[in-house]
Amino acid sequence: MCGRFTMAIDSEDLRTRLALGQMPLDWEKRYNIAPSQDVPTVPFPESRDVVWMKWGLVPFWAKDPSIGYKMINARAETVAEKPSYRNSFKNKRCLILADGFYEWRKDGKLSTPFYFQLENGEPFAFAGLWDDWEPKGVSSMPGLPGLTSCTLITTEANEDVKPIHPRMPVVLRKEVMWDWLEVDNPLALQSMLKPLPAGSLSRIQVSREVNSPQNQGEHLVEPSQETLF
């Protein structure tokens, strides 16, 4: 799974580098993005505007929005058929913008975090899905607002990630990421849900401070003072 990532690039710089549309006015660099938080997404290729969505997909048919806590990731192998995701796979795909992500290696009872980036440090997008949800029945959930939420798709790990974790997020480089929104052919879409080639990602061991989503700051993506892997 993928449970944390970063988007630590200035708004205007990111807009230029990824050819994006309008950016959120409340943009800020973030070094420890966690599930249930708002994440930067692009749902529409025509405008390429960046909008906030809650991380943790709540399908339109869900009775309770708490289902989103269990749906932060969707597996590439089943995303086209699984009832929770197939409608979004067909009609509501999105880009989730990032410049790095964390994975944890199990060391006995401890988990050691590692930070991954593209070798050139470029921003990229995770392949994502989104949906709109509205409460069903005003009497059962009075005052509960609707929400727009998303999930990111994972695949088997490449050789860069495999020593740390068996799975990794689907990373779309800027050269191909718009295809995820524009292509209609299911087989072509499925072919995009594969790991990056070996050697595409850098890896460093980082501080366990990243384990708490309350912790933020550039120091989280610096090499740990502990023994490196």
pLDDT for the residue numbered 139: 44
pLDDT for the residue numbered 229: 46
pLDDT for the residue numbered 109: 85
Q: What is the pLDDT of residues 34-48, one digit of tens each?
A: 999 999 999 999 999
In this prediction, residues 118-137 reach a mean pLDDT of 91
Q: What is the pLDDT of residues 1-15, one digit of tens each?
A: 789 999 999 999 999
What type of residue sits at position 12?
E
Pairing of strands 51-55, 147-156: parallel
In this prediction, residues 105-126 reach a mean pLDDT of 93
Cα distances (angstroms) measured from residue 173 to each of 57, 118, 132, 149, 227: 23, 9, 26, 23, 31
* Position 162 pLDDT exceeds 80: yes
* Position 112 pLDDT exceeds 90: yes
Cα distances (angstroms) measured from residue 223 to each of 38, 61, 163, 228: 27, 43, 18, 8
- DSSP SS3 for 17: helix
Q: Which residues pair with 125 in a beta bridge?
A: 97, 172
d(C-alpha 226, C-alpha 150), whole Å: 35
Contact between 155 and 170 under an 8 Å Cβ cutoff? The reply is: yes
Contact between 20 and 48 under an 8 Å Cβ cutoff? The reply is: yes
Sketch out the chain's domains with CATH numbers: 4-221 (3.90.1680.10)
Q: List the structure tokens of 13.
A: 């710089």
Contact between 9 and 15 under an 8 Å Cβ cutoff? The reply is: no
* Position 219 pLDDT exceeds 70: yes
Contact between 160 and 121 under an 8 Å Cβ cutoff? The reply is: no
Q: What is the pLDDT of residues 71-107, one digit of tens each?
A: 999 999 999 999 999 999 999 999 999 999 999 999 8
Residues with catalytic function: 2, 103
pLDDT for the residue numbered 11: 97
CA dihedral 73→76→77→78, nearest 10 degrees, is 60
pLDDT for the residue numbered 228: 47
d(C-alpha 162, C-alpha 108), whole Å: 17
Query: Is residue 138 very low, low, confident or very high in pLDDT (cuts 50, 70, 90)?
Result: very low
Pairing of strands 30-33, 73-75: unpaired
* Residues in CB range of 139: below 8 A, 6 or more apart: none
Residue 207: CA atoms inside 13 Å, Cβ hemisphere, count? 15
- DSSP SS3 for 88: helix
pLDDT for the residue numbered 144: 54
Q: Which of 124, 127, 140 is nearest to 94 (CA)?
A: 127
Torsion angles phi and psi, residue 153, rounded to 5:
-95, 135
